[in-house]
């Protein structure tokens, strides 16, 4: 990777994180008060956002990452490049979200950041080593 490529990637990740931070505004989190926003970059160049949506029956809640992926899939997008996840303190995606990301993009770049704009860039493999995917299911 050249210096200019690294700088352009860093700027792209910072821009994606800003969209995730903006998506936090729409969070419905009356129980945890922990707002999460996500911005998903597709291979077609679209950026699709999501936020966490809680429910008084806690298991019915959906995380920002899964909201963004669900929105993307419902719009016909299936190929993802990167996702930025923003929280007040840079919290990482939960296990369920990691598995949903893996379903669609085993090579996904994951940007985890906070509201001040600080972030780290990881791969999904960093977050979900030895993952289970469609290729692990028997084919008849």
pLDDT in tens, the chain (140 residues): 555 556 689 999 999 999 999 999 999 999 999 999 999 999 999 999 999 999 999 999 999 999 999 999 999 999 999 999 999 999 999 999 999 999 999 999 999 999 999 999 999 999 999 999 999 999 87
- Phi, psi angle pair for 32, to nearest 5°: -90, -25
Q: What is the pLDDT of residue 140?
A: 77
Tell me, yes or no, if 65 is annotated catalytic.
yes
Question: What pLDDT shows up at residue 139?
Answer: 86
Whether domain 3-127 has CATH 3.30.70.1560: the reply is: no
Q: Which of 28, 31, 90, 22 is nearest to 63 (CA)?
A: 28
CB contact at 8 A, 78 and 49: no
pLDDT score recorded for residue 8: 81
Residues in the chain: 140
Domain layout of the chain by residue ranges: 3-127
Choosing from 25, 54, 65, 103, the catalytic residue is 65
123/22 Cα distance (integer angstroms): 23
């Amino acid at each position: 990777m050249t210096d200019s490529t690294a700088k352009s990637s860093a700027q792209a990740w910072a821009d994606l994180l800003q969209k995730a931070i903006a998506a936090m505004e729409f969070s419905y989190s009356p129980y945890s008060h922990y707002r999460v926003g996500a911005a998903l970059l597709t291979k077609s160049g679209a950026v699709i956002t999501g936020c966490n949506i809680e429910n008084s029956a806690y298991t019915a809640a959906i995380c920002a990452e899964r909201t963004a992926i669900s929105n993307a899939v419902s719009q016909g997008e299936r190929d993802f490049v990167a996702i930025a996840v923003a929280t007040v303190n840079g919290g990482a995606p939960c296990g369920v979200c990691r598995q949903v990301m893996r379903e669609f993009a085993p090579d996904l770049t994951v940007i985890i950041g906070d509201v001040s704009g600080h972030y780290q860039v990881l791969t999904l493999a960093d977050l979900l080593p030895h993952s289970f995917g469609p290729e692990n299911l028997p084919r008849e």
